[in-house]
Homo-oligomer: A and B are copies of this chain.
Amino acid sequence: MFARAVGMELKHRVIILGGGFGGLNATQKLKRAAAADVTLIDRRNFHLFQPLLYQVATGSLSPGEIAAPLRGVLSRQKNTQVLLGEAADIDPDGRRVILRDGGQFAYDSLIVSTGSQTSYYGNDDWRKWAPSLKSVEEATAIRHKILYAFECAERATSEKEARAWLTFVIVGAGATGMELAGALAEIANETLKNDFRHINPREARIILMEGGNRVLASFPEDLSAKGEKLVARLGVEVTKGVMVMGIDAEGVTYKSGNESKRQPAKTVLWAGGVTTNEFGRKLAARTHAETDRGGRIKVGADLTVPGYPDIFIVGDLALSLGEDGKPLPGVAQVAIQGGAYAAKTIRNRLEGKKDTKAFHYFNKGDLAVIGRAAAVADIFGLHLSGLPAWLVWLFVHLMYIVEFQNRVLVFVQWGFEYLTFSRGARLITGDAATDSLDKPAALGSTGDGG
């Protein structure tokens, strides 16, 4: 029952930190590296299909439907073990990773794919009032917050109060902000339309605030314009060129031009930027690596940290330059390809082959979904919007999710929802979000009664 494998020490120890797109892909690509002893370490026991997290937040999918247990995915990969733990520190010269619980693990090669976390641009107190969409817990907290707002509006005792509960502000009009805004509009306009007696959910205001001068800034300008049109058609109000100055329980204070303004809203969601996490900062400090403003670590053409050819960084934590000299974006594709590249380099080294050539990111295209049959896509320079882009989005996501057992479920669920506008996973659970709600005592509280 209890046997530490003997002889493992003779093999090349590969440690992979983080089971996201980059780490999981790297792990799987090492499957046939018989000379390697692979350990995947993650603080969670599952891989999360993050691009669909907004569907959990908006009640379309359950967390279990967009997550795959890492052990399950890798159970047949005999040279690999999965370990639940969180990397806290690293000794790059002694080649050891230190976990938060004190455990130490020596490596011969290390692939770091610990990702990014939400950045509130130094205003961490905003987090309390404006959750972001990074983890399953945050997604369910957002779901709670959205549904709870309609419940409170229904019970409001004045028009003003009801209006504040029915005003939703989303900060940031990148892909995540657009997805959230579109889904929220659909909830208000369709899903809940018959559910209340004192309010009309269709009168909910959804305000999308963007600091720049266009939505979907990472897309070409014509697609930004299309995207804005599509989201506006759903009733979302887009406000560009604003700078958020404060967020609290009652709304958002922002600057538009030189004017300071105030938008009352009981629900604010954060779809702003990202920054590195604590381990990323430790790693940068210990390796004296160069970082950018967001804390990303500058890696070489082979994705290793300068001076440390045994440490690869892939995904959001890596600052890696594309052909055009611009940093590669923090998207799943970059992480997946980076993970595969790092694994291949390690395999080549083990087989005594010359190092592979420099990492080359092959951009398959960019996609952002806005609502039912509404999306924008930039595929090899071909600009699509509306239904065609949405069909591409659907196809791409179904293909990727095919990796998981949940593909059938997601497909059935989407089909059902598409036809009926209903959303199955509309549960208000837990109390994760209630802290940030200005709520009457114990209304909607959790417990085992009732």
Quick one: which of A139-162 are within 8 Å of B by CB? 147-148, 151, 154-156, 158-159, 162
B residues within 8 A CB of A2? 156, 158-159, 162-163, 198-199
Contact of A427 (CB < 8 Å), options: B64, B101, B277, B446 = B64
Asked if A81 is at the interface (CB within 8 A of a chain B CB), the reply is yes
The residue of chain B having its C-beta at the shortest distance from the C-beta of A75 within the complex is: B194
Contacts of A147 in B (CB 8 A): 45
Contact check, A443 vs B46: say whether CB atoms are below 8 A apart. no
Residues of B near A44 (CB, < 8 A) are: 427-429, 444, 450
Chain A contact residues: helix, strand, loop or mixed: loop
User: C-beta contact mask, A421-450 vs B, less than 8 Å → 1, else 0?
Assistant: 010111111101000000011111111111
Q: Which residues of B contact A409 (CB under 8 A)?
A: 409, 412-413, 424
Which B residues touch A3, using CB under 8 A? 198
CB distance from A75 to the nearest CB of B (A): 4
| Given A101-B441, A135-B446, A428-B46, also A154-B195 (CB < 8 A) | no
Q: Is the CB of B406 within 8 A of A43?
A: no
Q: Could you tell me if B422 and A72 are in contact, using CB atoms closer than 8 angstroms?
A: yes
Tell me if A6 is interfacial: C-beta within 8 Å of chain B. no
B101 and A442 form a contact (CB under 8 A): yes
Are A195 and B72 closer than 8 Å at their CB atoms? yes
Provide the residues of chain B in CB contact with A422, threshold 8 Å.
72, 405
Residues of A in contact (CB 8 Å), total 97
Contacts of A136 in B (CB 8 A): 427, 429
The answer to whether the Cβ of A5 comes within 8 Å of any Cβ in the partner chain is: yes
Whether B450 pairs with A43 at a CB distance below 8 angstroms is: yes
B192 touches A71 (CB 8 A): yes
Residue of B nearest to A204 (CB): B1
11 examples of A-B residue contacts, CB within 8 angstroms: A43-B447, A45-B427, A64-B425, A65-B424, A72-B195, A81-B198, A84-B443, A86-B449, A99-B443, A115-B450, A409-B409
List 9 other contacts, CB 8 Å, given A103-B155, A137-B446: A44-B427, A46-B426, A61-B64, A62-B63, A103-B440, A117-B449, A132-B448, A134-B448, A137-B430
